[in-house]
């Protein structure tokens, strides 16, 4: 077995209806593919219907599952209501909402227009709020139990980060929403959890966060103590477990999947990695002399 292998047994998500926002590309597509393999019916939704249809067709073919494409810009509440209705009409009651859609780009914060900042906050925080409110209110009204929401955040939701300030601001809000509703709405039979991924190469993220020469200059694997970036299947394995009934006691949790990346940045002396082995004995002698 390797970290690229599939983790759960066949049928682990059988009978579940799952909605993945931003499911037409990148990590949303990878998670959708695995959910289908595990027996779920999955609706994917984002702005670009042609891309979604192509993905649904490809995944239906490769997994033998049922994937349904619905256009929806999560920034608009009425579009989210329509998306929810369309999917419910097609598949019946929905069991899981995966808030994965996001927008992001790097920029010095002082260069951002007001609309640029709003655009990211609207997709990430307001979009997650819109989907959570529409799905959550419906679950409360219909008294449907054993449902759950999984939010994809980032590790800079904890630490903040320069040059992606709208995204950091919005993802921190999503983390607070996750933990708040995990407690408040548990009485309605809902669980809320989040995953904070480290670097997982996708076209969407890499084009916007490491454009042009930056990808060579700032190789993301170099920042990871385990020395590599994430594999999409690793994220799909974790997400499938968290939304499945195996994860039924998991609530209000934010699971970091980053090979130790954010802790490396946080620990004040982690830069001492750069000290060659031979120098340590000299340093020790110097320290002992001072005693
Ligand atoms: C500065 C920018 C900009 C940039 C857009 N804007 N790109 N400002 N630098 N690179 C400004 C525009 O000028 C405009 O402001 C405002 O932002 C809205 O831009 P639009 O292009 O009109 O917006 P829209 O068509 O809605 O597109 C949204 C988008 C785009 C976010 C800008 O990149 C997109 O569609 N992204 C979706 C996918 C995505 O971002 N995936 C990456 C997720 S990665 P003005 O004032 O001119 O009107 C991720 C990883 C996190 O989250 C952690 C990694 C480790
Ligand atoms: P991606 O492929 O660009 O995924 C983003 C998705 O969001 C796209 O499918 C996009 O589809 C959709 N989207 C954007 N704006 C939308 C809107 N207004 N309404 C509905 N859908 C919208 O990038 P990714 O790397 O897979 O990112 C997926 C998630 O992982 C994001 O939440 C991201 O923050 C998170 N993440 C990624 C990494 C990484 O290293 N890749 C690390 C940490 C966290 P359309 O363009 O069709 O709308």
The ligand 1 atom at the shortest distance from the C-alpha of residue 113 is 46
CA distances from 91 to 15, 52, 87, 194, 253 (A): 10, 17, 6, 25, 28
Range(s) of the domain holding residue 172: 17-290
Give mean pLDDT, residues 231-246: 98
With respect to residue 12, please indicate whether it lies within any of the assigned structural domains. no
Instruction: Return the SS3 of 213.
Output: coil
Q: Is 8 within the bounds of a domain?
A: no
Q: Relative to the alpha carbon of 74, which ligand is closest?
A: 2
Residue 244 is classified by DSSP as S
Report the alpha-carbon distance of residue 130 to residue 47 in Å, rounded: 15
pLDDT of 128 reads 99
The residue nearest atom 10 of ligand 2, judged by CA position, is 22
CB 59 within 8 A of CB 33: yes
156 an active-site residue? yes
Cross-strand partners of 74:
none
10 Å Cβ neighbour count for 58?
A: 13
What is the count of structural domains for the chain? 1
Cβ density class 76-94: b for 16+ within 10 Å, e for less: eeebbbebbebbbeebeeb
| pLDDT tens digits, one per residue of 5-35 | 999 999 999 999 999 999 999 999 999 999 9
Nearest CA to ligand 1 atom 55: 199
Model confidence band, residue 174 (pLDDT cutoffs 50, 70, 90): very high
Taking only the tens place, the pLDDT of each residue in 188-208 is 999 999 999 999 999 999 999
Q: Which of 162, 60, 156 is nearest to 102 (CA)?
A: 156
Taking the centre of ligand 1 as the mean of its atom positions, its distance from the CA of residue 102, in whole angstroms, is 9
**Average confidence (pLDDT) over 160-180:** 98
Q: Number of helices and strands (H, E) in the chain?
A: 12, 7
The dihedral over CA atoms of 270, 272, 274, 275, expressed in degrees to the nearest 10, equals -160
Ligand number with the minimum distance to the CA of 104: 1
Residue 139 located in a structural domain? yes
Catalytic residue (one of 77, 156, 241, 249): 156
Alpha helices per DSSP H over the chain:
26-37, 49-63, 77-91, 114-121, 127-142, 156-159, 165-184, 203-209, 214-217, 232-243, 261-266, 277-290
The pLDDT-based confidence of 257 (bands split at 50, 70, 90) is very high
- Ligand 1 centroid distance, CA of 57 (Å): 27
Question: Residue 2 falls within a domain, yes or no?
Answer: no
**Cα-based torsion angle of the residue sequence 66, 124, 191, 80 in order, rounded to the nearest 10 degrees:** -50
Given this model, what pLDDT does residue 45 score? 98
Q: Which residues have a Cβ under 8 Å from the Cβ of 264 and sit 6 or more positions away? A: 223, 224, 225, 270
- Please report whether residue 26 resides in a domain: yes
Cβ of residue 34 lying under 6 Å from some atom of ligand 2: no
At residue 59 the predicted structure's pLDDT band, cuts being 50, 70 and 90, is very high
Task: Identify whether 147 is part of a domain.
Answer: yes
280 contacts 273 by C-beta, under 8 angstroms: no
CATH for 238: 3.40.50.720
**What value does the mean pLDDT take over residues 104-123?**
98
> Within a domain: residue 174?
yes
Ligand 2 atom closest to Cα of 200? 40
Residue 291 has pLDDT above 80, yes or no: no
Confidence band of 290 (pLDDT split at 50, 70, 90):
confident
Q: Which residues line ligand 1 (CB under 6 A)?
A: 102-105, 107, 112-113, 115-116, 119, 154, 167, 199, 204-205, 208-209
CA of 23 to the centre of ligand 1 (A): 18
Asked if residue 138 belongs to a domain, the reply is: yes
Distance CA 180, CA 93 (A): 24
pLDDT of residue 97: 99
Query: What is the reported pLDDT for 85?
Result: 98
Provide the Cα torsion 233, 239, 240, 246; round to 10°. 130
Ligand nearest to the CA of 235: 2
Mean pLDDT score of the chain, rounded to an integer? 97
State residue 90's pLDDT score. Answer: 98
Q: What is the pLDDT of residues 135-157, one digit of tens each?
A: 999 999 999 999 999 999 999 99
- Residue 57 structure tokens: 């067709």
Q: Is the pTM of this model over 0.75?
A: yes
């Amino acid at each position: 077995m390797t970290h690229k292998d599939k983790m759960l047994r066949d049928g682990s998500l059988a009978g579940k209806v799952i909605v993945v926002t931003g499911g037409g590309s990148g990590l949303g597509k990878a998670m959708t593919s695995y959910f289908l393999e595990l027996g779920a019916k999955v609706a994917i939704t984002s702005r670009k219907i042609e891309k979604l249809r192509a993905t649904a067709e490809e995944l239906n073919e490769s997994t033998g599952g049922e994937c349904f494409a619905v256009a929806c810009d999560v920034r608009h509440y009425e579009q989210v209501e329509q998306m929810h209705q369309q999917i419910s009409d097609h598949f019946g009651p929905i069991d899981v909402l995966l808030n994965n859609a996001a927008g992001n780009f790097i920029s010095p914060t002082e260069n951002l227009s007001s609309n640029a900042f709003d655009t990211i906050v609207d997709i990430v925080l307001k979009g997650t709020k819109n989907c959570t409110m529409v799905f959550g209110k419906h679950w409360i009204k219909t008294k449907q139990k054993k449902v759950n929401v999984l939010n994809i955040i980032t590790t800079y939701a904890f630490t903040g980060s320069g040059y992606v300030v709208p995204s950091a601001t919005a993802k921190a809000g999503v983390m607070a929403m996750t933990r708040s509703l995990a407690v408040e709405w548990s009485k309605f039979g809902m669980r809320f959890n989040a995953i904070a991924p480290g670097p997982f190469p996708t076209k969407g993220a890499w084009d916007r966060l490491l454009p042009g020469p930056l990808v060579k200059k700032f190789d993301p694997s170099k920042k990871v103590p385990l020395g590599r970036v994430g594999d999409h299947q690793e994220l799909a394995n974790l997400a499938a477990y968290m939304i499945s009934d195996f994860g039924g006691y998991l609530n209000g949790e934010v699971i970091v999947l980053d090979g130790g990346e954010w802790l490396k940045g946080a620990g004040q002396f982690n830069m001492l990695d750069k000290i060659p082995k031979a120098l340590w004995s000299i340093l020790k002698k110097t320290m002992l002399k001072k005693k």
